[in-house]
Amino acid sequence: MNFDGLPGPTHNYSGLARGNLAAERNAQQVANPREAALQGLAKMRALAARGYVQGVLPPHERPSVPALRALGFRGSDDAVIVAAGRDAPELLAACSSAAAMWVANAATVSAAADCGDGRVHFTPANLVTHFHRALEAPVTTRVLRAIFADETRFRVHDPLPAVPQFGDEGAANHTRFAADVTVPGVELFVYGRRGFASGPAPTRFSARQTREAAEAIARNHGLEAGRTIYAQQRPDVIDAGVFHNDVIAVGEGTFLFCHERAFVDQDALLAALQDAVGPAFRATVIRDDELSLSDAVGTYLFNSQLLPRDDGRFLLVAPAECRANRATSELLDRLIADGTPIADVLTFDLRQSMRNGGGPACLRLRVPLTAEDRAAITANVFLDDALDASLEAWIRRHYRDRLAPADLRDPALLDESRRALDELTQLLRLPAVYPFQIAG
């Protein structure tokens, strides 16, 4: 199933993520947090209506007053925000980031059938490459432990050590291939660089994921070595704006959809996946002369969701930009007509998220659960008509429809966000997970 992250009340365009071309290009524009949250909810609603089990993950508390205090700001919470806005607006922007909405970076998740102890394993990502994202790990861990609380079925690990050698960006660089959630799968970990050894690396932007982090997660999850594959992103592609693997490739079931420039030694990787997954494995590889890398990054074609259909083929859930771009739209039509595993395309207006560099795949965390696993979750996080209506009313009640980077200096925004999040935890039947709730 897919758990989507709700954009938070401080959704804004501060351009914090170097290497994310959309975030850099749209820096300092005025955002609409209410529209961002409603767009994300609309995607969840539409997929739930098609019969897909859809979950919700809450946003984080922002601005992060504890982080600002750790950086030397003193006084009341309001005084901390005023001082940070006056003396270090770049730090206030980082501590106000709503980037936790992209829950593909929340954690790496392994199915129970793949893990040595027969439980679903989660490793929250440390996200050490960027300060504004590294702030997320503690709350993400608490949220996951609150939702997946049954320790007989779930194991939520601590994040890996928060150092560059173990840089971990979560499920954005991880794909599980299996015909079914109940059978052992093949887990593909994609990395950008090695943490303790030299090797090919990008020169313009940082490679965020290390191989050592992927290997540590595989060990902690108890994965079988013969069913675990590691692949490296091409450094030149990272330098072209492919900061995560899910910007250039997406897989589901026994199908991989990717660009020909996605991986180092790509032919060898495809052969290894064919051997490990078996005869059912299929790959559709888009050539550069079919779709340029710049168009792939600009439209986020591969930052899409692949959802299984009853006929064995897939629905591709893509951003609206894929139909607005002629080359991408024509390619999608050819893929459907040629009988590839992609049978249909559904696009969504996610422009509020896309302007910060996050498409449909960024907004969701895939969690392989059996029906019994789902029944063990007592939190109110499964989207149905009642939760959908409650969330829409909650968004309209609490979110601003305009937020410029300068507005982050308004102490009232903190109070608004805390009231909203306190109400949301009650709505989702979650315990105290936010710092202001725990401190209070």
Q: Which residue has the tokens 């309001």?
A: 78
Q: What is the DSSP letter of 340?
A: -
- In the prediction, which pLDDT does 226 show? 94
**Could you give the angle at which helices 411-427 and 385-398 cross, rounded to 10 degrees?**
170
- In the prediction, which pLDDT does 200 show? 84
Closest CA to 180 of 121, 254, 120, 107: 254
Q: pLDDT-based confidence at 193, cuts 50/70/90?
A: very high
- Summarised one tens digit per residue, pLDDT across range 263-321 is 999 999 999 999 999 999 999 999 999 999 999 999 999 999 999 999 999 999 999 99
Q: Which residue has the tokens 């990717």?
A: 258
User: Any residues with CB less than 8 A from the CB of 186 and at least 6 apart, and which?
Assistant: 176, 177, 178, 227, 228, 229, 273, 276, 277
220 pLDDT above the threshold of 80: yes
- In the prediction, which pLDDT does 28 show? 80
Give the mean pLDDT of 70-97. Answer: 97
Q: What is the DSSP string of 198-217?
A: -----SSS----BHHHHHHH
Look at strands 228-232 and 249-252 and give their pairing.
Answer: unpaired
Query: Could you tell me which residues are beta bridge partners of residue 177?
Result: 186
| CA–CA gap between residue 230 and residue 213 (Å, rounded) | 11
- In the prediction, which pLDDT does 19 show? 67
User: Any residues with CB less than 8 A from the CB of 16 and at least 6 apart, and which?
Assistant: 23, 93, 94, 97, 99, 130, 132
Which H or E run includes 14? none
The sign one gets for the Cα dihedral 215, 218, 219, 220 is positive
> 361 phi and psi, to 5 degrees?
-70, -30
Cα diameter, the chain: 64
Closest CA to 146 of 430, 384, 387, 356: 430
- In the prediction, which pLDDT does 439 show? 75
Task: Calculate the average pLDDT of the chain.
Answer: 95
* Ranges 27-31, 39-43, 143-147, 192-196: which has the least confidence: 27-31
> 71 phi and psi, to 5 degrees?
-95, 10
- Summarised one tens digit per residue, pLDDT across range 389-420 is 999 999 999 999 999 999 999 999 999 999 99
Q: pLDDT-based confidence at 167, cuts 50/70/90?
A: very high
Two tokens at 232?
A: 């490296």
- In the prediction, which pLDDT does 34 show? 97
Give the mean pLDDT of 41-45. Answer: 98
Residue 70 CB burial class (10 angstroms; 0-12, 13-18, ≥19): exposed
- In the prediction, which pLDDT does 27 show? 74
> 283 phi and psi, to 5 degrees?
-130, 135
Query: What is the reported pTM?
Result: 0.96
- In the prediction, which pLDDT does 208 show? 93
What is the percent of the chain where pLDDT is above 70?
98
Give the mean pLDDT of 85-89. Answer: 96
* Ranges 48-57, 121-130, 197-206, 314-323: which has the least confidence: 197-206
Give the residue numbers marked as catalytic. 169, 244, 362
440 pLDDT above the threshold of 60: no
- Summarised one tens digit per residue, pLDDT across range 340-389 is 999 999 999 999 998 888 899 999 999 999 999 999 999 999 999 999 99
- In the prediction, which pLDDT does 15 show? 74
- In the prediction, which pLDDT does 201 show? 85
- In the prediction, which pLDDT does 24 show? 75
